[in-house]
Amino acid sequence: MNPALLELRGIGKSFPGVKALQGVDFTVNAGEIHALLGENGAGKSTLIKVLTGVHPADAGEIRLGGQIIRPAAPKDAERFGISTVYQEVNLVPSLSVAENITLGRQPGRLGFLNWRAIRRRARAALARLEVECDVDAELGSLSVARQQMVAIARALDTQARLLVLDEPTASLDEREVAELFAIMRKLRTDGLGIVFVTHFLDQVYAVTDRLTVLRNGQLVGEFATPDLTRLQLVGKMLGREVSAADFSAGATARRKDSGRPVLAAHQIGRQGAIAPVDLTLHLGEVLGLGGLLGSGRTETARLLFGIDAADSGKLSVNGDVVKIDSPRAAVRHGLAFCSEDRKSEGILPNLSVRENLIFALQGKRGVFRALSRAEQTHLCDHYIKALRIKTADADTPIKNLSGGNQQKVLLARWLATQPAMIILDEPTRGIDIGAKQEIEQLIAKLRDDGLAVLFISSEIDEVVRNCSRVLVLRERKLAGEVIGAELSTEHLMQLMAGAHE
């Protein structure tokens, strides 16, 4: 029998205060798509970083095609044929597509770049994926999905035998996910082994052949995907028996809102971003903002929060017309905005969990009323516990936390300002299924405590579960409103896609 393409045996890796991996085995065959699954902080990204030479392992061995390899840096791993797209895409938006694909391995001699060769190589890499894309376009001008494809093309530019994708679909819409899956299946046919990290169970069942589950840095097991039911799989990840009831109840107990409007937007709009729209948010309400990627959801949120200036309409808070022309003004009026883009608008990577968590509250209070150390500690203890943030302590740099746990710190940052209304833009992106349920319960609790929540999510089921009313946007216009009993997945999908008319 042929040896497996990739075999990791007994991998161990500790960081100060954390055993991120202990005795983990992981095997991937050529021509298979293998899911790597587990809760936030389970060790998925760390295992990948050990494999790709970002972190040296403390214990264990790695074999590729039967040979022991010891990648000491990502460049080594690439040379062995291991190509990786990391959880946080690291490309350069101001450079062209071609430059991004060949960055760091540009053909040329004595400091002169060979532009023809660079373009040719970039085109070949994209052609292999059957992606059409102008190699001279500036990367930053492309959609996130396109940028993702470029990242994959870059990864495959070398002689890849194994492709590693760490949560590549977190910001893609359904059609783009389908495109990515087509690429993955094609590469599988070419004999590549593919490691795929995701928190979406639908995706696990749609494309993967086998899967490996980690929990708390340890191996739970390896399974053929069709052999596990969803509930069995979730049970393996969480380490307890789960029943269907655990995941249907969520926040469904819908309450009638107070009927008291807290935020009202009249014909607020911005050329090219969103056509003038009316929107009223009541205390004690979870209002959904539905729509496909690019429909104008985030744009609307940015207008409400004063990040972008509206060029029409007016806003009122508690009945008074107000001018919200900056996030600072928005915070002063009791608004909070937890952004979908945790990397560029969210975390301060080099600062601690504590500093990240108190950031918005301190900004609200101003420089002359610094939070005391005791107040900071109290806040951190409270939120680390309430949101079950997995961190060694509050003084750990936030960049050391797993992706999902960073997301929880951002949520805590805004809750700490005790807002009257909060905009949550994709609050569960990258968050595991257990924590998702916790966040949904938290949203229900905030609502019951009288907070107004504007909830944006690409996952329709999640919108239906959490909201009592949904405004649907389509092509940067309000397409309709769905309330109460009409609120169903089918109905929302029809409105989002415009299948009605």
Ligand X SMILES: Nc1ncnc2c1ncn2[C@@H]1O[C@H](COP(=O)(O)OP(=O)(O)OP(=O)(O)O)[C@@H](O)[C@H]1O
- Binding residues for Mg ion, per CB under 5 A? 45, 87, 402-403
Two tokens, residue 421: 């209304």
Reference 430, options 202, 215, 198; nearest CA is: 198
Which of the choices ligand X, Mg ion, none does residue 458 contact, using the CB cut-off of 5 to 8 A by kind?
A: none
| Contact positions with ligand X (CB under 6 A) in 57-116 | 87
Judged by beta carbon, residue 235 or residue 296, the one nearer ligand X is 235
The correct pick among 147, 208, 400, 466 for binding ligand X (CB under 6 A) is 400
For 397-427, letters b (16+ CB in 10 Å) and e give bbebbbbbbbbbbbbbbbbbbebbbbbbbbb
The correct pick among 46, 148, 300, 428 for binding ligand X (CB under 6 A) is 46
- Spell out, one character per residue from 358 to 397, where the chain touches ligand X: x when CB under 6 A holds, - when not: --------------------------------x-------
Cα distances from 424 to residues 78, 82, 315, 468, in angstroms, run 38, 37, 19, 15
Judged by beta carbon, residue 352 or residue 407, the one nearer Mg ion is 407
| 356 near ligand X, rule: CB under 6 A | no
What's the closest the beta carbon of residue 53 comes to ligand X, in angstroms?
14
C-beta nearest to Mg ion: residue: 45
Which of the choices Mg ion, ligand X, none does residue 208 contact, using the CB cut-off of 5 to 8 A by kind?
A: none
- CA–CA distance, 456 with 300 (Å, rounded to integer): 10
For 116-128, letters b (16+ CB in 10 Å) and e give eebbebbbebbeb
Which of the choices Mg ion, ligand X, none does residue 457 contact, using the CB cut-off of 5 to 8 A by kind?
A: none
| 183 near ligand X, rule: CB under 6 A | no
The correct pick among 403, 419, 427, 434 for binding ligand X (CB under 6 A) is 403
What's the closest the beta carbon of residue 29 comes to ligand X, in angstroms?
22
Judged by beta carbon, residue 46 or residue 437, the one nearer ligand X is 46
Which of the choices Mg ion, ligand X, none does residue 40 contact, using the CB cut-off of 5 to 8 A by kind?
A: ligand X
The correct pick among 250, 296, 404, 434 for binding ligand X (CB under 6 A) is 404
- CA–CA distance, 267 with 275 (Å, rounded to integer): 8
- Spell out, one character per residue from 310 to 349, where the chain touches ligand X: x when CB under 6 A holds, - when not: ----------------------------------------
Q: How far is CA 126 from the centre of its chain?
A: 24
What's the closest the beta carbon of residue 430 comes to ligand X, in angstroms?
6
Judged by beta carbon, residue 158 or residue 216, the one nearer ligand X is 216
| 405 near ligand X, rule: CB under 6 A | yes
Reference 379, options 360, 366, 398; nearest CA is: 360
Cβ atoms 456, 462 nearer than 8 A: no
Judged by beta carbon, residue 87 or residue 339, the one nearer Mg ion is 87
Judged by beta carbon, residue 222 or residue 490, the one nearer ligand X is 222
Query: Which range binds ligand X by CB under 6 A, 44-52, 260-268, 271-279, 379-387?
Result: 44-52
The correct pick among 43, 284, 288, 346 for binding ligand X (CB under 6 A) is 43
- Return the ∠ at Cα 339 (arms to 309 and 390), rounded to 5°: 160
- Say if strands 33-37 and 193-197 run parallel, antiparallel, or are unpaired: parallel
Reference 471, options 306, 292, 291; nearest CA is: 291
- CA–CA distance, 447 with 470 (Å, rounded to integer): 15
What's the closest the beta carbon of residue 40 comes to Mg ion, in angstroms?
7
Question: Residue 284, by phi and psi: left (phi above 0), alpha (psi -120 to 50) or beta?
Answer: left
Reference 135, options 101, 105, 173; nearest CA is: 101
The three-state secondary structure class of 388 is coil
Two tokens, residue 221: 């097991």
# binding residues, ligand X (CB under 6 A)? 20
Two tokens, residue 176: 């783009």
Query: Which chain residues interact with ligand X by CB under 6 A?
Result: 15, 18, 20, 38, 40-46, 87, 390, 400-405, 432
